[in-house]
Amino acid sequence: MSADLKKYIRSVKDFPVQGIMFRDITTLLIDPKALKIALSELMDFIDGLKIDKVIGIESRGFIFGAMMAEKLGVGFAPIRKPGKLPAEKVKETYRLEYGTDSIEIHKDAVNPGDKVLLHDDLLATGGTAKAAANLIEKLGGEIVLISFLIELTFLKGREKLGDYNIKSLISYDSE
């Protein structure tokens, strides 16, 4: 966890709805030094693990996901909202506070036995990340690391995710 990077995150009250404190990473991304440090610290999470590919969750998960894939010299695959991916795919539906949401991955994004680094920008309740992990495992992939830029620890997403190797760079203990 990087205390220094926290100062690059912008907190926006009542976004997208009343009562939510939104943690905005665009103020980190726009700063060349902060971007470099964040990527370097995310790469440190890998810590010698063998990674065959990086999978990022739409759409902010594409940003550091793609940079990590490039640094590792491996391929990148997106997990997207329904209706965006054109070829054969699998879908996972998960529960939200009100209603449900779904995400999809191409079947050829993962080969059985692939060692996968799953990345998203934010760990909140863990619903999306859990669904993403399910998709990867349905296709026979092995998740060796799940990395996040930000973790909202008070929402206990880590508990929902369970036994994975989960790392986050910046954490918030309360709203």
Q: Is 159 a catalytic residue?
A: no
Of 60, 92, 151, 158, which residue is the catalytic one?
60
Residue number, 29 or 90, with CB nearest to a second copy: 29
In the complex, the residues that contact a second copy under the rule CB under 8 A are 10, 12, 15-16, 22, 24, 26-27, 29-32, 35-36, 39, 53, 58-60, 62-64, 66-67, 69-71, 73-78, 80, 83, 85-87, 106, 108-109
Q: Which residue shows structure tokens 């998740």? A: 143
Single-letter residue type at 143? I
Which residues, 6+ apart, have CB-to-CB distance to 44 below 8 Å?
Answer: none
- Do 154 and 174 form a contact (C-beta atoms < 8 A)? yes
Nearest distance, CB of residue 139 and a second copy, angstroms:
12
Judge whether 137 counts as a catalytic residue: no
Nearer Cβ to a second copy (32/48): 32
CB of 39 closer than 8 Å to CB of 67: yes
Asked if omega into 174 is within 30° of 0 (cis), the reply is no
User: What's the min distance (Å) between Cβ of 159 and a second copy?
Assistant: 27
At 79, the amino acid letter reads I
Q: Which C-beta is closer to a second copy: that of 60 or that of 158?
A: 60
Question: For residue 30, what are the contacts with CB-CB under 8 A and spacing of at least 6?
Answer: none
**Nearest approach, Cβ of residue 64 and a second copy (Å):** 7
Catalytic residues: 60, 97
